[in-house]
Amino acid sequence: MKEKILLIGAGGHTRSCIDVIESEGRFSILGLIASSEEIGQTVLGYEVIGTDNDLGRFRKECKNAFVTVGQILNPEPRRKIFELLKSLGFEIPLIVSPIAYVSKHSKIGEGTIIMHHSMVNSNVQVGNNCIINSRVLLEHDVKIGNHTHISTGALLNGEVSVGDFSFIGSGSVVRETIRIGSNCIVAMSSKVFRDLPDHSTYKIST
């Protein structure tokens, strides 16, 4: 029998996560946690069954939960939900699409999702509660911090590092060995040729 899992969120990223979770086949989705106004609504056939205030009650019947709130400009909602789930004793699994490739020589943290057609190469390290979105390439020795989103189609070459709470936009390319700090935003389709300190916002597309 599949273990049950609660999903925290009910938006667009939740729909993408549902597809990966269904494809992976390890869990049965108990329901979604969202705002009180959304209770009773459904997302891809799964009902919103409560709010954050109900999580303690649901923990009694479901030990697994997963953050499916998206992240672009603000990582705080995902971080706060992750820490709330941990404080309530939930297990927050690693979710990997069956049509992604993750090297056995990589290390991926809890609560991270590796989405369809992504590639995680040898000796890559990814922290907790990250989104490695569809068609991302993380080349050898890349290091990603906690609560960071690498968006669709981004390409991080060998030995790149990205800190905590950062966002790398869709289609961006990061040159080998580049260091990107924490709380950084790299805009869609950027080409990153230099190191970026903490709290940087960056866009170079030519």
pLDDT of residue 73: 84
Strands of the 64-67 sheet, one edge to the other: 42-43, 46-50, 27-33, 3-8, 64-67
Q: 94-104 burial, b if ≥16 CB within 10 A, otherwise e?
A: bbbbeebebee
3-87 CATH: 3.40.50.20
Architecture of the domain defined by 94-206: 3 Solenoid (2.160)
pLDDT of residue 203: 86
> For the whole prediction, is pTM greater than 0.85?
yes
**Residue 149 annotated as part of some ligand binding site:** yes
pLDDT of residue 205: 61
Give the DSSP letter of residue 202.
E
Which residues are catalytically annotated?
140
Count of Cβ atoms closer than 10 Å to residue 202 Cβ: 17
Domains 3-87 and 94-206 equal at CATH topology level: no
Sequence ranges of the domains in the chain: 3-87, 94-206
pLDDT of residue 88: 97
Quickly list H helices, the chain: 12-24, 55-59, 76-87
Strand partners, 173: 155, 191
Residue in the structure block whose two tokens are 């891809």: 44
pLDDT of residue 59: 95
Contact between residue 13 and residue 68 where contact means Cβ atoms under 8 Å apart = yes
Bridging pattern class, strands 191-192 and 173-174: parallel
The residues near 71 (Cβ < 8 Å, ≥ 6 apart) are: 13, 77, 78, 131, 147, 149, 167
Contact between residue 37 and residue 63 where contact means Cβ atoms under 8 Å apart = no
**Average pLDDT per block of 10 residues along the chain, 206 residues long:** 96 97 98 96 97 95 97 93 98 99 99 99 99 99 99 99 98 98 97 97 78
Q: Is 153 helix (H, G, I), strand (E, B) or coil?
A: coil
